[in-house]
Amino acid sequence: MLQIQQIKENKEATIAGLKKKHFKNAEEAVEQIIALDDKRRETQNELDSTLAKSNALAKEIGGLMKAGKKEEAEAAKAETSTLKTRSKELDETLKSIESELYEVLVTLPNLPHSSVPEGKTPEENEVILENGTIPTLAEDALAHWDLIKKYDIIDFELGNKITGAGFPVYKGKGARIQRALINFFLDEAIAAGYAEVQPPILINKDSGFGTGQLPDKDGQMYHATVDDLYLIPTAEVPITNLYRDVILQEAELPVKNAGYTPCFRREAGSWGAHVRGLNRLHQFDKVEIVRIEKPENSYAALEEMSLHVQGLLQKLELPYRVLRLCGGDMSFTSALTYDMEVFSGAQKRWLEVSSVSNFETYQANRLKLRMKTEGKSQLLHTLNGSALALPRILAAILENNQTPEGIRIPKALVPYCGFDMIA
């Protein structure tokens, strides 16, 4: 959530940032927030003054009564009663203003970093790096949805029978390579200094609000209505919420956590060939890395996280590219996002496998996550990234490594799989 002081001190920059994010009615929203905050301050000042005057009169009444000044005491009582009534009215007005101000604030997305390019669609994202060789496959190469049937390693029909579309069943070597990828990603994260955690996969509303999924993505999450809990869309949510309402000491920073969870997304409105097979699922596995940093260190940390993800893709022998997302393609909460995409040989297109983002103070403000230094507290910066999401990684591995003898397993995964070929 944006800070009111930030908005008031940087009004034009805030409006420009909101416009880069393609937020409608940016000027009106900013003007409304400033006006409401001014009104809130005026009401608070009047309330404080009224309460102070009421308290002062209350103290005088006893002295007036002892001095035999009954009429003056009664007048003071009457005035105190009027002040109390006014105080109650002002308190109710203040709560109403604060509620209205809050409702407007939570609709504002985070402001983009100055390096974020203009643009509205994925086609306008900026490619900043490409690595690896695009595979040249045989003319009869199969897409992964055909390969999984050929080698009987993933069954979408069984998943549909048990749950519905988008919930596959992994079998045999398909299940083993899933487990291998999870363990490989976790081991790499631990080696890079991330402490592993295993968080809950159900969250409450406070957690959803803290990281910005609520109210923005309410309709995209699965909601267990009886207990009013949500299935997580990513491990970012519970891991970052470990630090909600926490004041960290400077010596505790940076915080680096990694965790594996299944993830659940309704993906409402998704259809077409681009979501076929493993390209888009309602349930999938992912290893997430999360960092909490001092503001002055967060962008160096973002670059480090990007290099960590790139290192995983290199070890998996996958051609990839890195994109800096434009304003219109960024998430609601992000200030700067790098997407990593791998090339899918049989589909002949790029598939997003990771987003690494810096949220600056946006999540920390909602979480009340601060650092205490020299007797003062300040908001911290939060970052996270997929390291990595499994479905499209697996799709690219299957497609890019198919041979007449079977599907070759990347060398880095062989010790985790226990086999070097799916045949």
Contacts of 252 (CB under 8 A, 6+ apart): none
**Which domain CATH number covers 133?**
3.30.930.10
Residue 158 lies in a domain: yes
Looking at 78, 105, 132, the residue that finishes a domain is 105
Verify that 273 and 380 share a domain, yes or no: yes
Contacts of 78 (CB under 8 A, 6+ apart): none
Contact 330, 354 (CB under 8 A): no
Tens-level pLDDT at each residue, the chain (423 residues): 999 999 999 999 999 999 999 999 999 999 999 999 999 999 999 999 999 999 999 889 888 888 888 888 889 899 999 999 999 999 999 999 999 999 999 999 999 999 999 999 999 999 999 999 999 999 999 999 999 999 999 999 999 999 999 999 999 999 999 999 999 999 999 999 999 999 999 999 999 999 999 988 888 999 999 999 999 999 999 999 999 999 999 999 999 999 999 999 998 655 555 689 999 999 999 999 999 999 999 999 999 999 999 999 999 999 999 999 999 999 999 999 999 999 999 999 999 999 999 999 999 999 999 999 888 899 999 999 999 999 999 999 999 999 999 999 999 999 999 999 999
Verify that 196 and 299 share a domain, yes or no: yes
Verify that 344 and 213 share a domain, yes or no: yes
Verify that 132 and 276 share a domain, yes or no: yes
Number of domains in the chain: 2
Residue 145 lies in a domain: yes
Residue 76 lies in a domain: yes
Residue 367 lies in a domain: yes
Verify that 414 and 295 share a domain, yes or no: yes
Verify that 214 and 289 share a domain, yes or no: yes
SS3 label, residue 171:
coil
Residue that has been written with the tokens 């890395």 in this structure: 289
Residue 115 lies in a domain: no
| Host domain of residue 42 | 4-105
Residue 255 lies in a domain: yes
Verify that 94 and 166 share a domain, yes or no: no
Verify that 388 and 264 share a domain, yes or no: yes
Residue 381 lies in a domain: yes
Verify that 241 and 387 share a domain, yes or no: yes
**Which domain CATH number covers 101?**
1.10.287.40
Verify that 91 and 152 share a domain, yes or no: no
Looking at 54, 80, 105, the residue that finishes a domain is 105
Q: Which residues of 164-181 are buried (b: 16+ CB within 10 A; e: fewer)?
A: eebbbbbeebbebbbebb
167 conformational bin, left if phi > 0, alpha if psi -120 to 50, beta if neither: beta
Verify that 212 and 83 share a domain, yes or no: no
- The residues pairing with 257 across neighbouring beta strands, listed in sequence order, are 195, 290
Looking at 71, 105, 139, the residue that finishes a domain is 105
pLDDT, position 271:
56
Residue 114 lies in a domain: no
pLDDT, position 191:
98
Verify that 101 and 143 share a domain, yes or no: no
